[in-house]
Amino acid sequence: MAPRFGEVDTSQLVATARSQSLGDLPRRSARRYPDKLAVVDGDVRLTFAELDAVVDRAAAAMAEAGLVKGDRLALLCHNSWQFAVLVFATARIGVVLVPVNFMLGADEVAFILDHSGARAFVVEDALVATADAALASTGEGTVTTRRVVRLGETEAPQDWPDLQEWLDHEGTPPQVLVGDDDPVRMMFTSGTESRPKGALLTSRSLLWQYATCAIDGEYSPDDVDVHSLPLYHCAQLDVFLGPDVWIGATSVILRGPDPATVLAAIEEHGANRFFAPPTVWIGLLRHPGFDDADLATLTKGYYGASPMPVEVLKEMQQRLPDVRLWNFYGQTEMSPLATSLGPDEQLSHAGSAGRASLNVETRIVDDEDREVAQGEVGEIVHRSPHATLGYHRDEEKTRESFRGGWFHSGDLGYVDETGHLYVVDRKKDMIKTGGENVASREVEEAIYRLDGVAEVAVFGVSHPRWVEAVVAAVVPKAGATLTPEAVLEHARSVLAGYKTPKYVVLVDALPKNPSGKIVKRDLRDEHAGIADGG
């Protein structure tokens, strides 16, 4: 029996009727397209009705396990249909999902668990050893619930129950009102600091951004989209998978961006959309099976993380004449899309990040936060409902990043006479290698822990495969017998693989300006050709 008038607060009734959170999207798409294919992952095929049902079961099981609104659930897993389910199941009951980069080492994972305050940890079977090592380093009581995603043959220890128990759970989740600005995601992003920051994203942030992506990127419910880049990263997760579920498009989930697998998936499923950083697009073009693959259905392509080289753009237009391209630029804190360059401007404005996206206002400011003149380089700042709620447990960084009422990206750029944005440098010394962000200071601090290192500067140089490669210039201490091989061996032991320098050079001194600051621009110029030949 429905409650009588006056038994329930009217404002609560209105808020419930008006709500739309991230967790609502599968249900609303299921009502529009119940029998339409939502997710494909190998032999697993879920309609929107089936996706919504398994999201409901997982949400009910999490609630029964004691997880409540505001709790954090960390997820360490390669791409899978289960990943997609947990994205929406956590949001449905207001639990904050914390995706964890599966390339991180145990110490790095432990920091994320501690900093986020995760109460639950879901881990792929092959990554349980890393997870156990991370848990051994965390504060007592940080994680109280464990689950394992069965993606392979590995037998997980008994204290890691199978996630399938949640997915098969019988019951309905509690009705939880998740407000527009309640956190539903904590995405860890590296800056100049030695430790990453947890950017809090809300339904408001994400859904406004989904609308921007769908309109600016010309998404359609008829699309079949191949997802091969890691879902722990906001680009694949929130520029593509999330919007696809929202509009009713079909998502084909691959474990990774292996060129042969990507080409086969596009052909097998008749996919018309695909996103990848330039490194992956280049890998597809260079693959021996490219010319024999039937890519006739592919009509919309997207790239980001770095500009597409002009020669590659020309080659793509020649070898994929029916594919229209978009360049999407942004950062995690913008959920992440901020600007876009459309298909008709790829060559005429090659290298540009385009213009501010639909629900974003962008400008360029100087160090005093005053807007600079056209063509003048300054920091790129944004105003948008896409923006993060702030950094978890870091009021100082949040205030600094939002000074003046604009989100400060930390990237440097300029706007030309046509209004197009060009990103020219990274104020935070961020290196983008293979589509991944690497904070130079984090790598520097790791190398400083090696005996015999007097000074170190880490920077990025152009690379034919990775677009940028991490390079470390190291000054040995007087009398130390240091070798590049020793530095690399040490770095590999304490850093994730993608953060480990591709090249190490030993130098007598680092270039500095009169105030003593290292001039990394000079290092980039001096070692610009170090990656010639791969």
Q: Is 267 left (phi over 0), alpha (psi -120 to 50) or beta?
A: alpha
E strands, 154-237, where? 183-189, 197-202, 224-227
CA distance 129 to 113: 15
pLDDT digits (tens, 9 = 90+) for 120-162: 999 999 999 999 999 999 987 889 999 999 887 777 778 899 9
Task: Tell which residue, 232, 42, 94, 83, has the closest CA to residue 167.
Answer: 83
From residue 52, give the alpha-carbon distance in Å to each of 18, 46, 249.
Answer: 20, 9, 14
CB-based contacts of 350, cutoff 8 Å, min separation 6: 307, 308, 310, 313
Query: H or E element: which one contains 149?
Result: strand 145-149
Check if the beta carbon of residue 100 is closer than 8 Å to that of residue 112: yes
- Determine how β-strand 72-76 pairs with β-strand 120-124: parallel
DSSP reduced 3-state for 512: strand
Domain with CATH 3.40.50.12780 in the chain: 209-426
> pLDDT 10s per residue in the chain (534 long)?
455 545 778 999 999 999 999 999 999 999 999 999 999 999 999 999 999 999 999 999 999 999 999 999 999 999 999 999 999 999 999 999 999 999 899 999 999 999 999 999 999 999 999 999 999 999 878 899 999 998 877 777 788 999 999 999 999 999 999 999 999 999 998 643 457 899 999 999 999 999 999 999 999 999 999 999 999 999 999 999 999 999 999 999 999 999 999 999 999 999 999 999 887 898 899 899 999 999 999 999 999 977 787 888 999 999 999 999 999 999 999 999 999 999 999 999 998 999 999 999 999 999 899 999 999 989 999 999 999 999 999 999 999 999 999 999 988 889 999 999 998 766 656 788 888 878 777 888 789 889 898 888 899 999 988 889 999 999 998 889 899 999 999 999 999 999 999 999 999 988 875 444 678 888 999 999 998 866
Q: What is the CATH number of domain 430-526?
A: 3.30.300.30
Cα distances (angstroms) measured from residue 124 to each of 42, 129, 164, 251, 529: 17, 10, 12, 21, 40
Selection from 426, 422, 302, 277 nearest residue 362 by Cα: 422
CATH of domain 209-426: 3.40.50.12780
Token couple for 289 = 């099976």
Q: What share of the chain is helix, strand, coil (3-state, %, to 5)?
A: 35, 25, 40
Distance between CA 232 and CA 123 in Å, rounded?
12
Determine the 3-state secondary structure of 189 from DSSP. strand
**And the tokens for 467?**
């677009």
Classify residue 130 by its DSSP letter. H
Tell me how far apart the alpha carbons of residues 52 and 90 are, in angstroms, rounded to a whole number. Answer: 13
The span from the CA of 506 to the CA of 527, in Å, is: 12
Strands in 355-356's sheet, in edge-to-edge order, are: 44-47, 37-41, 250-253, 224-227, 273-275, 300-304, 324-330, 337-341, 355-356
Q: What are the residue ranges of helices labelled H in 383-449?
A: 395-401, 440-448
Pairing relation of β-strands 300-304 and 273-275?
parallel
Cα–Cα distances in Å, from 196 out to 88, 191, 193, 506?
24, 6, 7, 28
**For the segment 331-382, what is each residue's pLDDT rounded down to a tens digit?**
999 999 999 999 999 999 998 999 999 999 999 999 899 999 999 989 999 9
In eight-state DSSP terms, residue 333 is G
Structure tokens at 483: 């070798």
User: Considering the entire predicted model, what is its pTM?
Assistant: 0.84
Q: Give the pLDDT of residue 346.
A: 96
Query: What stretches of 93-194 show up as alpha helix (H) in DSSP?
Result: 106-116, 128-136, 164-167
Looking at domain 20-27+43-178, its CATH class is alpha beta
Q: Where in the chain is the domain with CATH 3.30.300.30?
A: 430-526
Of 499, 495, 519, 501, residue with least CA distance to 509: 519
- β-pairing, 436-439 vs 430-433, is antiparallel
- Determine the length of the chain: 534
